[in-house]
Amino acid sequence: MSIAIYPGSFDPVTTGHVNLIERASKIFDHVIVCVLINSGKKTPLFSIDERVNMLECVTEGFHNVSVRYYDGLLVDFAKQEEANIIVRGLREMSDFDVELQMAQGNKAASGGTLETVFLPTDPNYSFVSSTMIREFANYHHICREFVPDIVADRLEEKVKSK
Ligand code: PNS
């Protein structure tokens, strides 16, 4: 059975992420979407619980997808779940340097067992990122076309309360 982990900060999940989850769910027997901490992103907009909840809502139609949170290294989470595949999306060439380093680092840290599979982002979403969505939302512009409806509603509530 192939178990793949799709890790990310998902702050918040975008339509590009959902597209990738759907495609990964057709390739692997089981996909675990895992919210992890990116130590380079210091000021999250949504709490971990809020991010997990939004992911659960938007993936409820996928029978072989589950959502988790892990406070630690991706390589340790993969070991715990007995998964040896990581899925990451590539939007553009500039993603590649960082992603390659991460893939090679995770493989080395796992003793050589953890492979990363890259899926190209659907061209419709190649410029969409959580960072961009957050930036627009901070100025009260909700990019409804690039996030699932529930995320757009939560973004609206979030920036109203700020
Ligand atoms: O959506 P992001 O922010 O690009 O995802 C990056 C993430 C969360 C997958 C990465 O920062 C991560 O794996 N964090 C967990 C800690 C870890 O394992 N770090 C070593 C690999 S960089």
pLDDT in tens, 83-129: 999 999 999 988 999 999 999 999 999 999 999 999 999 999 999 99
H or E, element range at 26: helix 15-27
Judge whether 126 counts as a catalytic residue: no
Instruction: List the structure tokens of 37.
Output: 């901490």
Give the Å distance between the CA of 100 and the centre of ligand 1.
13
Could you tell me the distance, in angstroms and rounded to a whole number, from the CA of residue 61 to the centre of ligand 1? 26
* pLDDT surpasses 90 at 161: no
Q: pLDDT at position 156, please? A: 95
Share of the chain above pLDDT 90, in %: 95
Catalytic residue among 25, 88, 130, 154: 130
- In this structure, which residue's CA is closest to atom 11 in ligand 1? 38
Question: Which parts of the chain are beta strand (E)?
Answer: 3-8, 30-35, 65-69, 85-90, 115-120
pLDDT of residue 154: 97
Q: Which of 41, 47, 140, 141 is catalytic?
A: 41
Rounded average pLDDT over 27-51: 96
Q: How confident is the model at residue 48 (pLDDT cuts 50, 70, 90)?
A: very high
Residue 158 appears among annotated catalytic residues: no
CA dihedral over 122, 39, 145, 21, signed as positive or negative: positive
**CA-36 nearest atom, ligand 1:** 8
Of 51, 88, 91, 134, which residue is the catalytic one?
Answer: 91
Which residues sit with their C-beta closer than 6 Å to ligand 1?
Answer: 7-9, 36-38, 41, 73-74, 102, 105-106
pLDDT at 142 over 80: yes
**Band of residue 66 on the pLDDT scale cut at 50, 70, 90:** very high
Per the confidence metrics, is the pTM higher than 0.95? yes
CA torsion, ordered 58, 121, 91, 139, to nearest 10 deg:
-30
**How high is the pLDDT of residue 13?**
98
Model pLDDT, residue 30? 98
Q: Which residue has the tokens 């070991």?
A: 79
Does the annotation mark 41 as catalytic?
yes
What is residue 58's predicted lDDT score, i.e. its pLDDT?
98
> Tell me, what's the pLDDT at 162?
74
Mean per-residue pLDDT, 13-25: 98
Q: What are phi and psi of 114, to 5 degrees?
A: -90, 115
* Dist CA 56 CA 33 (whole Å): 9
Burial class (CB in 10 A: 0-12, 13-18, 19+), 130: buried
Report whether 93 contacts 121 (CB < 8 A). Answer: no
- Sign of the dihedral through C-alpha 67, 18, 20, 8: negative
Closest-CA residue, ligand 1 atom 19, reads 73
Among left, alpha and beta (phi > 0; psi -120 to 50; other), residue 115 is: beta
